[in-house]
Amino acid sequence: MSEIDLTTKIGNLALKNPIILASGTAGYGYELEKYINFNEIGGFVSKGIYFDPRKGNDSPRIYETPCGMLNAIGLQGIGVKRFRDEIIPFWEKYDTVFGVNVAGETEDEYVKVVEYLEREKRVDFFEINLSCPNVHEGGKSPSWDSQKTFSIIKEIKKISKKHIMAKLSPNVTYIEEIAKAAEEAGADSISLVNTFVGMAVDIKTKKPQIKNVFGGVSGPAIKPMALALVFKVFKSVKIPIVGMGGISSAGDILEFIISGASAIEIGTATIVDPRASLKMLKQLKDLMRALNHKNIKDLIGSIITGG
Amino acid sequence: MDKKEWGDNYFSLFLKDKEISEIVFPGNFFMVKIPYFESGAILPRPFSIARVFKEENVFELFFQVVGKGTEVFSKLKEGDYLEILGPLGNKFPIKTEKKIIMVAGGRGISPFLYLSEILKREKKDFLLIYGGKSEKDIKFRHYLSSYNTLFITEDGSYGEKGLVTDFLPKGAFTVFSCGPEIMMEKVYEFYKKTNSEVFVSLEERMACGTGVCYGCAKKIRRGDKIEMVRVCQEGPVFNAKEVVWDE
């Protein structure tokens, strides 16, 4: 039986396989250590990190919706100092691509976080969280605006030599414009999608099910919309794309890759089952074999439309 | 897996695993995966340990149908397999010289079933106060008859009539409570000015159980600060004086 080649590249990042654990669904890593061997996964993105520690939103923070969930955690986090002192050393012992999800309430804060962690050799890339729907005033996120997207990425590129991945929001009219703005500003790659803004109401108390009122919808329910956005962005930029949104099987992974993603992120599936990523990795090899594919790189953007 | 239907929407699942039966302790919980997704439910559900039958390597999870997830579990058939994660979480701290008072409301009886057995085996002095709305909510009557239990119903249809908080003994105890949050808060209010310590098993919507999602956070006092603490990681059992009872 021939070996299946699952190695892939996101620009200068070389991955063992296309599976990355998505920010906010895998903690800082240590929480999952007893369930999975990080050496087996393609990459890992930390929980979003602000410069200072953050308390996050009040509870209830989550609510299950059909085939998905709503969350408004509010980026509870430990801040850059503890992140550098406690989390980065944890990652020294693992051989996988490691990214830091960078958050900020202002443009300056994004830059400050990157500046603080720029010299950390273990950090392979920064995923710039332009898109958390739960923290900015009125739920606005910078990636709703192509100028803000451009300016944040541009400022970060001035001070960072690391790979910069721009994480986009799906809650926009023309995602192509935002993606192009990130590309023009020098982003090395684009990851999408973050969660879709949603809500749910308790009909007895008439109160929203989430304290924050609005939350982000994730899980299998969003997969078709996420896939469409990945394909739209694939058609409009030249930089590589990391696709995500409700992936819960090897078939889902291939759909995103065929639609243009060079790698994918697993999010809510890890919440459902901490071993989901490795289960999908095994499934992916079997599926590639069954479909007579040897090299996953050959499948990136191999979609056939028309004809 | 084996199942028992208690009536009135209460069920027990019996699962077999030698290692889990040996190590699990009251306070611990399990995340039980939804076995099929037709219901649209995807997230695993938390269940606290109810009883352990060590000779048979069997442990029991007790629940009431309250939503989509519990409905799926109530429809499982004998012999079905379930994927579970656990035991997770901390334990009720039983190392105390004081008499132990356990206060349970409704399905909050779960952890005190096995705990009663453990306390009796360890020859500790204890009292279990178990309340519900009516006799429909009082289960495990035969099992609990071997332990020092005070049954209470709001309508008086079984045991004493009233609320569990009407029957709390005065004195200095180690108090454990599990059930509706308002009940646990009142238990704490009752004992906070005494020499008693109160520990409560908190419930919050939970998604992962592993600590990755930060969904199940509760406001907890740490020194002079109030922090959002993950129930699945640092709980579910908390010292009641650390809990911020404002919600």
Report helix, strand or coil for A246: coil
**How many Å apart are CA B118 and CA A141, to the nearest integer?**
53
In-domain check, residue A82 = yes
User: For chain B, which domains are there?
Assistant: 2-88 (2.40.30.10), 100-242 (3.40.50.80)
CB A9 within 8 Å of CB A18:
no
Identify which of B68, B85, B215 has the shortest CB distance to residue A62.
B215
In-domain check, residue A210 = no
- Token digits of residue A8: 């892939």
- pLDDT 10s digits, A4-14: 999 999 999 99
- Token digits of residue A30: 């240590």
In-domain check, residue A254 = yes
- Whether B207 sits inside 8 A of A220 (CB atoms) is no
Residues 215-234 of chain A with CB under 8 A from chain B are 219-220
Any CB–CB contact under 8 A between A35 and chain B? Answer: yes
Looking at the structure of chain A, the number of domains it has is 1
Any CB–CB contact under 8 A between A202 and chain B? Answer: no
Answer whether residue A1 shows pLDDT above 60.
no
Which residue is associated with the tokens 């990681």?
B233
Answer whether residue A223 shows pLDDT above 90.
yes
Positive or negative: CA dihedral A42, A47, A50, A53: negative
**How many Å apart are CA A4 and CA A297, to the nearest integer?**
11
Q: What is the CATH number of the domain that holds A43?
A: 3.20.20.70
| Residue A24's pLDDT band (cuts 50, 70, 90) | very high
Backbone dihedral angles phi then psi of residue B49, each to the nearest 5 degrees: -70, 135
Q: Which residues of B touch A (CB under 8 A)?
A: 33, 37, 40-44, 68-69, 83, 85, 204-208, 210-219, 227-228, 233, 247
* Catalytic residue of the set A102, A130, A132, A217: A132
Report helix, strand or coil for A21: strand
Q: Can you give the pLDDT at residue B39?
A: 83
- pLDDT 10s digits, B158-205: 999 999 999 999 999 999 999 999 999 999 999 999 999 999 999 999
In-domain check, residue A127 = yes
Q: Length of chain B in residues, anyone? A: 247
| Residue B246's pLDDT band (cuts 50, 70, 90) | confident
In-domain check, residue A3 = no
- pLDDT 10s digits, A49-69: 999 999 999 999 999 999 999
How far A67 CA sits from the closest chain B CA (Å)?
A: 5
Which residue is associated with the tokens 């240590």?
A30
Is A132 tagged catalytic? yes
User: Which residues span the domain enclosing A138?
Assistant: 8-58+73-198+218-299
Strand partners, B228: B219
In-domain check, residue A68 = no
Identify which of A32, A56, A69 has the shortest CB distance to residue B212.
A32
Answer whether residue A143 shows pLDDT above 60.
yes
Q: Can you give the pLDDT at residue A136?
A: 57
In A, minimum Cα distance to B227 occurs at: A55
| Average pLDDT of every residue of chain A | 95
Report the number of secondary-structure helices (H) and strands (E) in chain A: 9, 14
| CB contact set of A239 (below 8 Å; sequence gap of 6+) | A11, A183, A187, A188, A189, A190
Q: Can you give the pLDDT at residue A84?
A: 98
- pLDDT 10s digits, A241-262: 999 999 999 999 999 999 999 9
Q: Can you give the pLDDT at residue A256?
A: 98
Q: Can you give the pLDDT at residue A47?
A: 96
What DSSP string describes A77-93?
B-HHHHIIIIIHHHHHT
In-domain check, residue A66 = no
**How many Å apart are CA A141 and CA A148, to the nearest integer?**
9
pTM of the model: 0.94
ipTM of the shown complex? 0.92
